[in-house]
Structure 1
Amino acid sequence: MQLAKSANSLIRLGIDIGGGTGTFAALMKIFYNVTMLTTTLNVNAPYSEAVAARGLVPLHVPLQQRLPVFDGTMDLVRCGRAVNRWIPLPVMEFMFYDVDRVLRGGGYLWLDRFFSKAMDLEEVYEPMIGKLGYKKVKWAVANKTDPSGLKNGEVYLTAVLQKPVSR
């Protein structure tokens, strides 16, 4: 939110992809008065019901499906831990292009703790994301670790990217 504020960009509406029980959406509503739609899948738990019970908006949308919102209407799309290297590449690419469809010009794509192998991040995911032509506002990579040290050569990416205002 500080990045958007420093750029005089207003964030009012967004989507949290893979938002679980809606904690991020709840925090955005309480602290910033931002309405976040939360995509969920009821896998081993009633996530949609949990989001709705919090007074938030759940969307039961798998990654292989278009987001059910109009083009250019979102100020922010956040991809949390559900979006990571386990998603097949064609599905990931489809998701990024659909995110591009729903983001308004000047809107933000936030990849929050995206994890992959370090080599895959450089050779596969960075070029895939780069095709969108977004401005890198923040791009931070850190080693993924567990108590025994580095974990399988994996890294976490936290990135905030801004969609160009016009193309």
Structure 2
Amino acid sequence: MKVEKSRFLAYKSDLDLPIQQLFQLSKSAKSVIRLALDIGGGTGTFAAQMKLQNVTVITTTMNFGAPYNEAVALRGLVSLHVPLQQRLPVFDGVVDLVRCGRAVNRWIPLTAMEFLLFDVDRVLRGGGYFWLDHFFSKRMDLDKVFSPLIGKLGYKKVKWAVANKTDSSGVKHGEVYLTALLQKPLTK
């Protein structure tokens, strides 16, 4: 729990986006964050940290190997059991921020990823933010597949940080992490 309590609060590398920095970026763009959707939110730590900032976060998670939905609910947060291939159960253009956690990565079939990105676009309001948090893929796939796919949205890049994915033996299988904060245009 000690590690969980400090998640999303500290800046340790270029891949991190602390909540206070997120709010500073939002404030400088004269945008507000009141309602968010956390896709692949695990035990709801992001939602818990945002609740302290008076932001309501709906967390989607799956119970793979652990009762994640129950953990989110036990924290007094809103949890939804939604597979990535299902349309998000949210009205069009009402969400201020969509965060995709580590559950969204290169293992998702490309057609499902494209569906997810365009559904995120559907639920985000104009001026809202899309945050890909520690998305991992092969560097070549990031350059040739995922970056162009993300680019189809036509969003403004607020933050785009790429770093090698490493383990104790060094660079891991030519994979990289991407943290991207993108802002949807007010009108399309």
What per-residue deviation string (whole Å, max 9, x for no partner) do you get for residues 57-112 of structure 1?
00110000001010000000000100000000000000000000000000000000
The answer on 1:85 being equivalent to 2:106 is yes
Q: Paired residue for 2:122, among 101, 107, 130?
A: 101
Q: Distance in 1 between matches of 2:63 and 2:169?
A: 33
**Structure 1 residue aligned with 2:145:** 124
Cα drift, residue 118 of structure 1: 0.4
Which structure has the highest strand share of the two? Answer: 1
Q: Distance in 1 between matches of 2:29 and 2:142?
A: 28
* Identity among equivalent pairs (%): 77
Q: TM-score, normalised by structure 2?
A: 0.87
**Structure 2 residue aligned with 1:19:** 41
CA RMSD of aligned residues (A): 0.6
Which consecutive segments of 4 or more residues in structure 1 shift more than 6 A? Answer: none
Cα drift, residue 46 of structure 1: 1.3
Q: Which amino acid is the alignment partner of residue 20 of structure 1?
A: G
**Structure 1 residue aligned with 2:69:** 48
Q: Which amino acid is the alignment partner of residue 46 of structure 2?
A: F
Q: Distance in 1 between matches of 2:172 and 2:65?
A: 26
When the two structures are aligned, how many residues end up with a matched partner?
166
Partner of 2:38: helix, strand, or coil?
A: strand
Gapped runs of 5+ residues in structure 1?
Answer: none
**Structure 1 residue aligned with 2:88:** 67
Cα drift, residue 49 of structure 1: 1.1
Q: Distance in 1 between matches of 2:127 and 2:29?
A: 10
What per-residue deviation string (whole Å, max 9, x for no partner) do you get for residues 35-68 of structure 1?
1000011122111111111110001100000010
**Structure 2 residue aligned with 1:8:** 30
Q: TM-score, normalised by structure 1?
A: 0.98
The answer on 1:148 being equivalent to 2:179 is no
Partner of 1:82: helix, strand, or coil?
A: coil
Q: Distance in 1 between matches of 2:57 and 2:37?
A: 5
Q: Which amino acid is the alignment partner of residue 135 of structure 1?
A: K
**Structure 1 residue aligned with 2:154:** 133
